[in-house]
Amino acid sequence: MKKVVVGMSGGVDSSVSAALLLEQGYEVMGLFMKNWDETDCPQERDYHDALHVADTLGIPLYTVNFTEEYWNHVFSNLIEGLKKGITPNPDILCNKEIKFHHFLDKALSLGADYLATGHYARVDSEGRLYRGLDPNKDQSYFLHAVGQEAFKKTLFPIGHLLKPDLRLIAEKRNLITHNKKDSTGICFIGKRKFPEFIKNFISSRKGSFLTPEGKILGYHEGAWNYTIGQRKGLGIGGAGDAWFVAKKNIEENSVIVVQGEDHPFLFAQTLRAIEPTWVAEKPLYPLACTAKIRYRSEDVACVVKENLDKTLSIEFFSPQRAVTPGQSIVFYQNDLCLGGAIIL
């Protein structure tokens, strides 16, 4: 009998993953990952839900503490990136450095043949990564930086399901998580707003909101607090269309804003990206494919070329709005996720 360790997060997705694997004849054990130490972290409540599900299914649940690894490899990277004026994606780094590295190693050390998680994605026996079949929940974007060797030891039991069907499966099996809301954002922040939380780690510094012509429209407490394309939270009023963040100058601590969501300054037809990672083999260039520049963006046709310095140049068939340094661009051929890179 094959042994599987399921990453139990306390949500409905991992709960159903464990239930399905159990019904498929695997020997299943749950493993709950803790990556933050504050007592009011929602993870404490999630642990109790995971324990309840494990008891319902009749499987053991163990815990593993990766707070030090998370701080060193994910959170510190986020803070340093924000200080430089970019917008890193901690979920991508967490998958690469924690869940499918340290967490996977822990599962294998417990004698497991596979690690399973509740991601909406699919892998084949060769470790190639595919989109989840639910287009509203597909999470391959967040998994693109994980390598083929790790995916050969990974199962995604719910990658073929739609979310409504998954909740029905959970309800029929009397799992307490069947109607639990999906988690959003960074888990340990809880009900606090992200800017207020980050102020504990980055000092406030007064700066200006500027038009492209240099006119001061207002003031802020740090350019790091804003991202390209942002509208809400600027505090800039006045007549006409809403204002949007178009650019940041961290050295001068200024934020350039433009009026109207279709302002030309918000669009770009090309971008440069660094640190490419490929799930399987490196492709041949030029690469014709589709790409996402953020999780919720639509796929857009593009051509990827490699520069002499190993960075990538990407040209889109149509201009893209709010290309954001620090975020990831992820490449696809139909449902196959090829890999991605960090937007420079």
Percent of the chain with pLDDT over 90: 87
Phi and psi torsions of 262, nearest 5°: -110, 20
Q: How far lies 212's CA from each of 162, 208, 245, 249, 257, in Å?
A: 45, 12, 11, 12, 7
The verdict on whether 187 is a catalytic residue reads: yes
Strand ranges (DSSP E) for the chain?
3-7, 27-34, 61-65, 114-116, 121-123, 129-131, 154-155, 207-210, 216-220, 243-249, 254-259, 267-278, 287-292, 300-306, 312-321, 328-333, 336-343
The catalytically annotated residue of 41, 187, 302, 337 is 187
Out of 28-37, 89-98, 185-194, give the one with best mean pLDDT: 89-98
- In which band, very low, low, confident or very high, does the pLDDT at 35 lie, cut at 50, 70 and 90? confident
Average pLDDT of span 8-34: 96
DSSP state of 191: T
Biggest alpha carbon distance in the chain?
A: 69
Average pLDDT of span 141-163: 97
The catalytically annotated residue of 94, 289, 302, 337 is 94
Provide the 3-class DSSP secondary structure of residue 113. Answer: coil
User: Which residue spans of the chain are classified as CATH 2.30.30.280?
Assistant: 203-261
The verdict on whether 302 is a catalytic residue reads: no
Pick the CATH number of 265-343 from 3.40.50.10860, 2.40.50.100, 2.40.30.10, 3.30.1330.10: 2.40.30.10
Amino acid residing at 231: R
Phi and psi torsions of 229, nearest 5°: 90, -5
pTM: 0.93
What pLDDT digit, counting tens, does each position of 239-278 carry? 889 999 999 999 999 999 999 999 999 999 999 999 999 9
User: Which residue spans of the chain are classified as CATH 3.40.50.620?
Assistant: 3-189
Q: For residues 43-61, b (16+ Cβ closer than 10 Å) or e, as one string? A: beebbebbbbbbebbebeb
Question: Into which CATH architecture does domain 203-261 fall?
Answer: Roll (2.30)
Q: Is residue 71 within 8 Å of residue 82, measured between CB atoms?
A: no
Average pLDDT of span 63-74: 93
Q: Is the pLDDT of residue 39 over 60?
A: no
User: Which residue spans of the chain are classified as CATH 2.40.30.10?
Assistant: 265-343
Asked if the 3-189 domain carries CATH number 1.10.10.10, the reply is no
- In which band, very low, low, confident or very high, does the pLDDT at 237 lie, cut at 50, 70 and 90? confident
The strands making up 254-259's β-sheet, listed across from edge to edge, are 216-220, 207-210, 254-259, 243-249
Comparing C-alpha atoms, which of 188, 8, 228 is closest to residue 90? Answer: 188
